[in-house]
Structure 1
Amino acid sequence: MRIRATLGVVTGALALSVLAVPAAQADATAGDTKISNVVVNGGKDVVGGATGKKTITVSFTATDDSGIDWAQAILYHGSDVESSDSGAVANSSDLRATCTEVNATTSTCKSSFTLESGANLINSVAGGWKVWALAAGVDADYVKKENAKGFSVKRASKLTVNASPEPVKKGKTITVKGNLTRANWDTGRYAGYTTQSVKLQFKKKGTTTYKDVKSVRSGSAGALKTTVTASVDGYYRYNFAGTTTTPAVAAAGDLIDVQ
């Protein structure tokens, strides 16, 4: 994907000046136009399931002493937008952002983007993404930012738990099993997330707070298994803290009746 093809809406003298900037000097400015307050997906990580589409909003503030004429944003994964990895690029449906005037010099600009599992979302591009942004003033001043904002795009995770036997006598052994899986964007399915540290937690019946019991490492197919000694009625669950490519997730608690 090349920037000249992507920015089909950029025309005239502005196009020549903006697109002529070499990749090593990707940021560019002419005049007093500024971009600030870039927010992606309401400030939350973008999490994609094994299949389907995710629509997110990007907003930013654009200022120029003559007012803002138009603006545009692009989402991408890679060192720069011209050489984005594996087609990992998202344009808004109308290319240009919708800019709403706040006052004579300032506008709030917004665009919606669609990220689709198996298309611009593949396993190798999970992690850090960037926002490329451009704003132009009525007087033809402009600013272009290669990395106006960084954000995370992650593979959705799931976590299960099953504690047995139920009921159990006090002092006997409880076996707690579970599975940690995450979206595989390449296959369209969920698959085991192996060699990950997961906390086994316990909440005494009648209380509200889970406490750590021990750490368990996920094995083949994301399997989790450990044992504890039965003491009082309560709920066991597994809790995963997440990684740079996968969000945190906690299993629903499984109640154990200790007799």
Structure 2
Amino acid sequence: MSVPVSQQARGSDGPRRADDVPRGPFSTWGHMRIRATVAAVSGALALSALAVPAAQAEERPAAGVDRPVAGVDLRSGADVFGARSGDAPAARSRAARPVERPVIKKVVVNGGKDIVVGTTSKKKFTVSVTASSPSGVADAYAFLWRGYIDETDSGLVPVGKAADCKVSADPTTSTCTLTIVADPRSGVLAENSLAGTWNVAVAVLADTGSDDDAVWDESHSRVRVQRYSKLTVNASPEPVKKGRAITVTGKLTRANWETCAYRGYTRQPVKLQFRKKGAASYTTVKTVESSSTGTLRTTVKASADGYWRYSFAGTSTTPAVASGGDYLDVK
């Protein structure tokens, strides 16, 4: 069972009560400005995403996302909504009126699919935020984080300064798109333990000219970031006489982000499947467990010409994968 972010405990002093755990900078106060800065920490870039109350920035500093995140570049390092809105005045007016709070309607990360990252190639994906506000939507921001909002293990942030916002037929509603790049060699994914479920933080700014008219949701939704997997197969000997035993070998591997290489995925159930020549689909023959090095090996009797393959259902940290079919000629 997943535990709400606000109730997660951490530290050596034993479990903390839910009301003792910092809820993070995004939900603690009502209207806020969002400040994202980049600082050098031990030779690596550190991500510090701070939310500061508009009128209390100096009086009450917010706890931030301050764990080192190598390779993160927030470009301007200034207020996400203040400096990102180039046509906005430096000091937005704050008239005595009710705060206009935008409504986040939908957030889609990577087209609704898991984010799968290998060992060398950068994985580029988008986050689209659909929101509405009576005055319209001026901007939106989103990033992915894992761990605890006041002490994150890592974060994936947009590569550009501003979201690409498009107004719908309803002028109060817009869909804003941001691009994020997950680079397995940047240090952001420096540990294999980072694979799994990540939180999606989202902010939306109303088009009123005031920084007060914004909404933050530090854990609006969740998305899985997974380690790319591979699976091979080989059926032999070939050709083979009908009724004779054949050996089907293979190997299940997945990306090791710590070494930037593929390593065997051990002790995992993998299905051996067969598709008879001319058939449209595979049927499962048996389940084989991968070895301590990820290898697969089993024997079956050859009954007909067809294709043999291995199929892995996947886990929360590793996507499903199937090998190609290895054709076996049965005499």
Q: Is the aligned partner of 1:229 residue 2:301?
A: yes
Separation in 2, partners of 1:256, 1:34:
58
Letter in 1 for 2:144: L
Name the structure 2 match of 1:93.
159
Name the structure 1 match of 2:43.
none
User: 1:4 offset after TM fit, Å?
Assistant: 5.8
Among the aligned pairs, what percent are the same residue?
A: 47
Change (3 A) 1:199 1:14: farther
Q: TM-score, normalised by structure 2?
A: 0.69
Name the structure 2 match of 1:192.
264
Match of 2:316 among 230, 235, 244: 244
Contact 2:165-2:175 at 8 Å conserved across structures: yes
User: 1:14 offset after TM fit, Å?
Assistant: 7.4
Name the structure 1 match of 2:112.
43
Match runs of 1:1-259 below 5 Å: 5=37, 6-7=48-49, 13=54, 16=57, 31-80=100-149, 82-85=150-153, 88-102=154-168, 103-118=170-185, 119-121=187-189, 122-139=191-208, 140=210, 141-259=213-331
Contact 2:165-2:177 at 8 Å conserved across structures: yes
Separation in 2, partners of 1:231, 1:111:
53
User: 1:231 offset after TM fit, Å?
Assistant: 1.1
User: 1:75 offset after TM fit, Å?
Assistant: 1.3
Partner SS for 2:138:
strand
Separation in 1, partners of 2:56, 2:285:
60
Letter in 1 for 2:138: D
Contact 1:193-1:221 at 8 Å conserved across structures: yes
Contact 2:52-2:61 at 8 Å conserved across structures: no
Partner SS for 2:111:
helix
Name the structure 1 match of 2:17.
none
Separation in 1, partners of 2:155, 2:104:
21
Count of aligned positions: 247
CA distances 1:201-247 after superposition (whole Å, capped 9, x unpaired): 01111111100000000003200000001111111110000000000
RMSD: 2.4
Partner SS for 1:124:
helix
Larger RCO: 1 or 2 (CA < 8 Å, sep 6+): 1
Separation in 1, partners of 2:55, 2:290:
54
Letter in 1 for 2:256: N
Structure 1: segments with no counterpart, 5+ residues: 24-29
Say which structure is richer in strand: 1
User: 1:37 offset after TM fit, Å?
Assistant: 1.1
Change (3 A) 1:49 1:224: same
Separation in 2, partners of 1:125, 1:89:
10
Structure 2: segments with no counterpart, 5+ residues: 1-24, 26-34, 38-47, 65-98
